[in-house]
Chain A
Amino acid sequence: MTQAATNASDLMVEMRNVNKWYGDFHVLRDIYLEVKRGERIVVCGPSGSGKSTLIRCINHLEEHQKGEIVVGGIPLTQDVKRIEQIRRSVGMVFQHFNLFPHLTVLENCCIAPMWVQKKPRKEAEALAMEYLERVRIAEQATKYPGQLSGGQQQRVAIARSLCMHPDVMLFDEPTSALDPEMIKEVLDVMVELAEEGMTMICVTHEMGFAKKVADRVIFMDQGQIIEENAPEPFFNNPQSERTQLFLSQILGH
Chain B
Amino acid sequence: MIHNKDTIPQRPAPKGTIGPIAWLRGNLFNGPVNSIFTLLGLYVLYLLVVPTIQWAFIDADWVGSSREDCSRAGACWVFINARFSQFMYGLYPSSEYWRPNIVFAMFAAIIAWMVIPRLPFKRWVALLALLVFPVIAYVLLHGGYFDLPRVSTHRWGGLMLTLLLATVGMVGALPIGIVLALGRRSNMPIVKTFCVIFIEFWRGVPLITILFMASVMLPLFLPSEISVDRLVRALIGLTLFQSAYMAEVIRGGLQAIPKGQDEAAAALGMTYWKRMGLIVMPQALKMMIPGIVNTFISLFKDTTLVMIIGLFDLLGIVQAALSDSNWLGFSLEGYVFAAFVFWIFCFSMSRYSQYLERKLNTGHQR
- Of the candidates A25, A65, A225, A227, which one forms a contact with B17 in the assembled complex, judged by CB atoms under 8 Å apart? A65
Would you give the shortest CB distance from A241 to chain B, in whole angstroms?
Answer: 9
CB of B10 within 8 A of chain A?
A: yes
Collect the chain B residues with CB atoms within 8 Å of residue A228's CB: 1-3
Bound CA–CA A138/B18 (angstroms): 49
Q: Is the CB of B5 within 8 A of A240?
A: yes
Collect the chain A residues with CB atoms within 8 Å of residue B1's CB: 2, 227-230, 233, 239
CB of A252 within 8 A of chain B?
A: no
Bound CA–CA A30/B7 (angstroms): 11
How many residues does chain A have at the interface if contact means C-beta atoms less than 8 Å apart? 24
Main secondary structure of the interface of A (DSSP, over half): strand
- Of the candidates B7, B12, B13, B17, which one forms a contact with A224 in the assembled complex, judged by CB atoms under 8 Å apart? B7
CB of B364 within 8 A of chain A?
A: no
Bound CA–CA A19/B13 (angstroms): 9
Q: Is the CB of A21 within 8 A of B17?
A: yes
CB of B8 within 8 A of chain A?
A: yes
* With contact pairs A21-B17, A21-B18 given, residues A240 and B11 touching in the complex (Cβ less than 8 Å): no
- Of the candidates B3, B11, B17, B18, which one forms a contact with A29 in the assembled complex, judged by CB atoms under 8 Å apart? B11
Main secondary structure of the interface of B (DSSP, over half): loop
Q: Which residue of A lies closest to B10 (CB)?
A: A26
* With contact pairs A225-B2, A227-B3, A239-B3 given, residues A21 and B8 touching in the complex (Cβ less than 8 Å): no
Bound CA–CA A230/B7 (angstroms): 22
Q: Which of B1, B5, B12, B14 has the most CB of A within 10 A?
A: B1
Interface residues as binary, B1-37 with A (CB distance below 8 Å gives 1, 0 otherwise): 1111101101111100110000000000000000000
Collect the chain A residues with CB atoms within 8 Å of residue B2's CB: 1, 225, 227-229
Collect the chain B residues with CB atoms within 8 Å of residue A223's CB: 8
Collect the chain B residues with CB atoms within 8 Å of residue A104's CB: none
Bound CA–CA A228/B3 (angstroms): 7
CB of A212 within 8 A of chain B?
A: no
Collect the chain A residues with CB atoms within 8 Å of residue B7's CB: 222, 224
Collect the chain A residues with CB atoms within 8 Å of residue B3's CB: 226-228, 239-240
Would you give the shortest CB distance from B347 to chain A, in whole angstroms?
Answer: 30
Would you give the shortest CB distance from B31 to chain A, in whole angstroms?
Answer: 11
Would you give the shortest CB distance from A46 to chain B, in whole angstroms?
Answer: 14
Q: Is the CB of B4 within 8 A of A21?
A: no
CB of A23 within 8 A of chain B?
A: yes
Bound CA–CA A23/B8 (angstroms): 18
Collect the chain A residues with CB atoms within 8 Å of residue B17's CB: 21, 65
Bound CA–CA A227/B2 (angstroms): 5
Interface residues as binary, A197-235 with B (CB distance below 8 Å gives 1, 0 otherwise): 000000000000000000000000011111111100100
Would you give the shortest CB distance from B229 to chain A, in whole angstroms?
Answer: 55
Collect the chain B residues with CB atoms within 8 Å of residue A181's CB: none
Bound CA–CA A25/B12 (angstroms): 8
Would you give the shortest CB distance from A25 to chain B, in whole angstroms?
Answer: 8
Q: A23-B18, A66-B14, A224-B7 are in contact. List 12 more A-B contacts (CB 8 A).
A: A19-B11, A21-B13, A21-B18, A26-B11, A26-B13, A30-B8, A223-B8, A225-B2, A227-B3, A228-B1, A229-B1, A239-B1
29 residue pairs of the A-B complex, CB under 8 angstroms, read: A2-B1, A19-B11, A19-B14, A21-B18, A23-B13, A24-B13, A26-B13, A29-B8, A29-B10, A29-B11, A65-B14, A222-B7, A224-B4, A224-B7, A225-B2, A225-B4, A226-B4, A227-B1, A227-B2, A227-B3, A228-B1, A228-B2, A228-B3, A229-B1, A229-B2, A233-B1, A239-B1, A239-B3, A240-B5
Interface of B with A (CB < 8 Å)? 1-5, 7-8, 10-14, 17-18
Interface of A with B (CB < 8 Å)? 1-2, 19, 21, 23-26, 29-30, 65-66, 222-230, 233, 239-240
